[in-house]
Structure 1
Amino acid sequence: MNAHPAMFEWPADARDLLPLALWDAAGVAAATGGVASCDFECSGVEIDSRDVREGDLFFALKGESTDGHRFLDAAFANGAVAAVVDRPIDRPHVLVEDTMQALEALGAAARNRADAVVIGVTGSVGKTGVKEALFAALDRSSRGYAHRSVKSYNNHVGVPLSLARMPARTIYGIFEMGMNHAGEIAALTRQVRPNVAVITTIAPAHIEMLGSEEAIADAKAEIFEGLEAGGTAIIPADSPHFGRLRDAALKSGAKVISFGRAANADVRLLDMVVASSGGSLVTADLGDRRVCYTVSAAGDHWVLNSLAVMAAVRAAGGDLGAAGLALAEMGGLAGRGERLDIPTPDGGHALLIDESYNANPASMRATLAQLGQTPAKRRIAVLGAMKELGDFSPAFHAALAEPIAAAELDHMILVGDEMEALAGELGKAEGGTLGNGLTFAHCGNCDEAIAALSAYGLKDGDAVLVKGSNSVGLARLVARLSAEES
Structure 2
Amino acid sequence: MSLWTATEIAAATGGTASADFAVDGVAFDSREVGAGDLFVALTGESTDGHRFLDQAFAQGAGGAIVSQGAAHPHVRVADTFAALEDLARAARARMAGKVIGVTGSVGKTSTKEALYAAVNRSPAVRAHRSVKSYNNHTGVPLSLARMPAKTDVAVLEMGMNHPGELAHLTTLVRPHVAIVTAIAPAHTEFFPDESAIADAKGEIFRGLEPGGVAIVPYDSPHRDRLIAAAQPHAARIVTFGLEKGADVHPIEQARAPSGGTFVTARVGDRELSMTVALPGAHWVSNALAVLAAVQAVDGDLALAGLALAELGGLPGRGARVDIDVAGGTATVIDESYNANPASMRATLAVLGHAPGRHVAVLGEMRELGERSAGYHAGLADPVAAARVETAVLVGEAMAPLAAALEGRVEFVHVPDAAQALDRARNLIRPGDVVLVKGSNGVGLARLVAGLSGGMS
Normalising by the smaller structure, the TM-score range is over 0.9
Task: Kindly state the Cα deviation for residue 142 of structure 1 after the two structures are TM-superposed.
Answer: 4.8
Q: 1:71 aligns with which of 36, 52, 56?
A: 52
Any gaps of 5 or more consecutive residues in structure 2? none
Task: Check conservation: 2:275, 2:309, Cα contact below 8 A.
Answer: yes
Q: Which stretch of structure 1 is more off in the superposition, 258-267 or 155-164?
A: 258-267
Partner of 1:410: 389
Residues in 2 aligned to 1:130 and 1:485: alpha-carbon distance in whole angstroms? 33
Residue of structure 2 in register with 1:303 after alignment: 284
When structure 1 is superposed on structure 2, of 302-311 and 244-253 the one drifting more is: 244-253
Q: Which of 429, 434, 437 matches 1:464?
A: 434
2:238 is matched with 257
Contact 1:118 1:173 in 2 (8 A): yes
Provide the residue aligned with 1:475 in structure 2: 445
2:269 is paired with a residue of what secondary structure?
Answer: coil
Q: What is the TM-score normalised by the length of structure 2?
A: 0.98
How far 1:141 sits from its partner (Å)? 1.7
Q: CA deviation at 1:262?
A: 2.1
Structure 1 residue 358: Cα displacement: 0.3
The separation in 2 between residues aligned to 1:299 and 1:263, in whole angstroms, is 18
5 Å matches for 1:389-400? Answer: 389-400=368-379
Match status 1:442 vs 2:413: yes
> Does the alignment pair 1:361 with 2:341?
yes
Correspondence for 1:156 among 137, 140, 164: 137
**Does the 8 A contact of 2:214 with 2:234 survive in 1?**
no
1:213 to 166, 170, 194: 194
2:274 paired residue number: 293
Q: CA deviation at 1:253?
A: 3.4
Q: Count matched residues.
A: 456
SS of the aligned residue for 2:114 comes to helix
Q: Which amino acid aligns with 1:184?
A: E
Within-5 A mapping of 1:30-49 = 30-49=11-30
Render the CA deviation track for 1:275-298: whole Å, top value 9, x for unaligned: 111111111111311101111111
CA contact (8 A) 2:323 2:452 kept: yes
| Residue 120 of structure 2, aligned match among 127, 136, 139 | 139
* Separation in 2, partners of 1:263, 1:282: 13
Deviations 1:51-94 (A, max 9, x none): 11111011000011000000000000000011111112222110
Relative distance call for 1:144 and 1:54 in structure 2 (3 A) is farther
| C-alpha distance in structure 2 between counterparts of 1:298 and 1:388, whole Å | 27
The equivalent position to 2:41 in structure 1, one of 53, 57, 60, is 60
- Do residues 167 (structure 1) and 148 (structure 2) align? yes
How far is the alpha carbon of 1:321 from its aligned partner? 1.2
- Deviation track 1:437-471 (CA, whole Å, cap 9, x = no partner) reads x3110111111111211232x21110000000000
Distance 1:275 1:83 in 2: 50
Name 1:423's counterpart in structure 2.
402
Name which of structure 1's ranges 229-238 and 293-302 shifts more when overlaid on structure 2.
293-302
Aligned-pair CA distance for 1:484: 3.3
2:222 maps to 241
Range 150-159 or range 132-141, more displaced:
132-141
Superposition TM-score, scaled by structure 1 size: 0.92
Secondary structure of 1:278's aligned partner: coil
Change beyond 3 A, Cα 1:322–1:485: farther
CA distance in 2, matches of 1:87, 1:287: 55
Partner secondary structure for residue 251 of structure 1: coil
Give the C-alpha shift of residue 413 in structure 1.
0.5
**Once the 2 structures are TM-superposed, how far is the Cα of residue 485 of structure 1 from its aligned partner?**
9.4
2:8 counterpart residue number: 27
Q: Runs of at least 4 residues of structure 1 off by over 3 A?
A: none
| Alignment-derived partner of residue 68 in structure 2 | 87
In the alignment, the residues of structure 2 paired with residue 461 and residue 271 of structure 1 have an alpha-carbon distance, to the nearest angstrom, of 32
Q: Is the 8 A contact 1:121 1:175 kept in 2?
A: yes
Distance 1:449 1:266 in 2: 44
Amino acid aligned to 1:404: V
RMSD across aligned positions (CA):
1.2
Distance 1:385 1:379, change over 3 A: same
> Is the partner of 1:294 in helix, strand or coil?
strand
Q: 1:455 aligns with which of 399, 415, 426?
A: 426
Give the letter aligned to residue 403 of structure 1: P
Q: Which amino acid aligns with 1:249?
A: A
Which amino acid in 2 is paired with 1:439?
Answer: E
The 5-angstrom pairing of residues 177-188 of structure 1 reads 177-188=158-169
The answer on whether the counterparts of 2:40 and 2:80 sit within 8 Å (CA) in structure 1 is yes
Alignment check: 8 A CA contact 1:359 1:467 kept: yes
Distance 2:9 2:226 in 1: 38
Q: 1:278 to 1:103 in 2, by over 3 A?
A: same
Q: Deviations over 1:72-125 (max 9, x none)?
A: 000000000111111122221101111100000000000000001000000000
Q: Deviations for 1:362-417, whole angstroms, at most 9, x for unmatched residues?
A: 000000000000111x1000000000111100101001011111111111010111
Q: CA deviation at 1:254?
A: 3.5
> 1:3 corresponds to which residue?
none
What residue is the counterpart of 1:17 in the other structure?
none
Contact 1:52 / 1:79 at 8 angstroms: preserved in 2? yes
Alpha-carbon contact 2:325-2:454 (below 8 Å) kept: no
Cα distance in 2 between the residues matched to 1:166 and 1:484:
39
The separation in 1 between residues aligned to 2:430 and 2:419, in whole angstroms, is: 23
SS at match of 2:163: coil
Q: Which residue of 2 aligns with 1:372?
A: 352
Distance 2:432 2:242 in 1: 32
Q: Is the 8 A contact 2:16 2:75 kept in 1?
A: yes
Structure 1 counterpart of 2:122, which letter?
Answer: S
